[in-house]
Chain A
């Protein structure tokens, strides 16, 4: 195993890690505010991918331009999801919320199978094969663009959370829901906005990988499991943690692929996951519970 190979793998891992980060940020924001673990998150990403695929194909526009549709579309889906399905069970035992989102995942994934067949679809773009070279290391353009999108949207979200009133309200609700309510924050509104944002993150992440990833109903599974690892690693509720965690896990997957046989590449990530859950459940940047 030579140096170039290692660097190449880590680089690819870093770039895809950006996408993990974006998916995980959506998940962590939802968990931070509502303490709901959204199993359907991968399915939302899948919807984003299909939306990008269909819009790009049918309207013959640049796949990256589809964000203009995907973002608001997934936001609305997230809002509806929260208002119709999550809101009634906010007070139910935590398990129920898990089961509900699991049910939504099953429904969405298999509805996709029903509507669009389980066949893999590939979106052909003229720049899918463009690579840049630094010495022997090649970086594919679409990977860079995916990473860039992830950074940009993570950044936008970070700014929203830290520099706007809405963001402050979201963070307040995340840290202290009772206090937030007392301060006059409309918690119900924060809930559906947050869910919408989370779904939008998943959708945008989907768009980001559509140029180079196959689109099929179960694509979300890979990402949602990894997203959990990232969220727990970064610390539940911490956007920065999810960002850093995504990059770390992206690289861990690459290292895993290098040292473990084919199907087992993610074993490393899951072992990390288990370690964190046991020994440092608050993750790298999560809040300590008082």
Chain B
């Protein structure tokens, strides 16, 4: 699963002119979706937001090799920071989002500095992230100042773009769409830089990386800072879109699962993995929720099943499968 990021060919492989053009056209077309299929807007927004969070996880877990089982701690922190600043100080979420991202980054650096200084890796790192997330979860449940178990409600003001509220969902569609595009581009660039390669080196072998001049502590710290920032940024948009956050939904273990399952299924360590995973899992969850109206959460059975199947049969995720098919197709052509 973690091995899918091998940039084949030159390390700076880029799409051709024609490739970039096709991408631009595709993005252009996507802008019309809200009018073509208005019923899918909510789904798309959720899909994009979780893809962004998944991409955040991907940087730390897929590229730098540290799988976090508590990534929602950054998401929730971002959501609470911007929401509290808005509710208590009237600060516009457009600035709130910057502070939320900063807050996430600082939290990431704090957790990373502790964990990586003491050489935590693999399952131990996964568990410590889980512990931090649970602590934040429990504290937020009991801390009245930030709403406690009841959570925080953002008053609906209709059309108030300065307060990041819009009459209809389309605005959030575009916002989240561009966040996805931004996160895709960021990771794509990352793959082609020194620090991106250093992430990979840390993932593969710490000792060898150190011996080759990689400051593994610093590299991992950068990875978690980036990862946390992206994830917490999505938290603000989520809060503004739904106008309600509570400890269970933004700090719960379930949300950490939602965040990380997307890159795992889609292909960790690849640019498109988290988006691909989100493309498949978000509609699946929605459809499951509607079809099996019995109990919410039963869609998680599917998550579990898919996760097990993918890990056993497609350890590089769907991107890995696509790459394999592409390789086979290309060698046949020769």
Contact = CB atoms under 8 A, between A and B. Distances in A.
A225 B299 CA distance: 23
B47 to A, nearest CB: 20
A184 interface: no
A264 B128 contact: no
B304 A264 contact: no
B2 interface: yes
Contact of A92 (B134, B142, B315): B315
Nearest to B135: A270
A100 B138 contact: no
Interface in B118-156: 118, 120, 122-124, 126-128, 130-132, 134-135, 138-139, 141-142, 149
A228 B122 CA distance: 15
A102 B264 CA distance: 12
Interface residues of A, number: 46
A221 B253 CA distance: 10
Interface stretch (B78-86, B159-167, B186-194, B305-313): B305-313
B142 A107 contact: no
A94 to B, nearest CB: 5
Contact of A110 (B115, B130, B300, B311): B300
Interface in B268-310: 292, 294-295, 297-301, 303-308
A277 B120 contact: yes
B134 A114 contact: no
A98 interface: yes
A100 B301 contact: no
Interface string B249-268: 00001000100000010000
Contacts of B294: 114
B139 A267 contact: yes
A244 to B, nearest CB: 20
Interface stretch (A13-21, A156-164, A255-263): A255-263
Contact of A278 (B114, B130, B308): B114
B304 A95 contact: no
Contacts, number: 140
A229 B124 CA distance: 11
Interface residues of B, number: 46
Contacts of B292: 114
Interface in A259-290: 260-264, 266-267, 270-271, 273-274, 277-279, 281
Contact of A107 (B123, B127, B305): B305
Nearest to A109: B300
Contacts of A98: 67, 69, 123, 126
B222 interface: no
Given A96-B311, A99-B264, A104-B304, A273 B131 contact: yes
Nearest to A278: B118
Contact of A113 (B297, B303, B307, B308): B297
Most buried by A among B118, B303, B304: B304
Given A113-B297, A270-B131, A106 B142 contact: no
A247 B127 CA distance: 21
Contact of A93 (B1, B149, B297, B306): B1
Interface of A: 37, 85, 88-89, 92-96, 98-100, 102-111, 113-114, 117-118, 221, 225, 228-229, 232, 260-264, 266-267, 270-271, 273-274, 277-279, 281
10 contacts: A92-B1, A98-B67, A98-B69, A99-B264, A102-B304, A105-B304, A263-B141, A263-B142, A264-B141, A270-B131
Given A95-B61, A98-B123, 15 more contacts: A85-B308, A95-B2, A96-B1, A99-B67, A107-B301, A114-B295, A267-B138, A267-B139, A270-B131, A270-B135, A271-B135, A273-B127, A277-B120, A277-B131, A278-B114
7 closest Cβ contacts across the A-B interface?
A107-B304, A103-B307, A106-B304, A263-B141, A103-B308, A110-B301, A110-B300
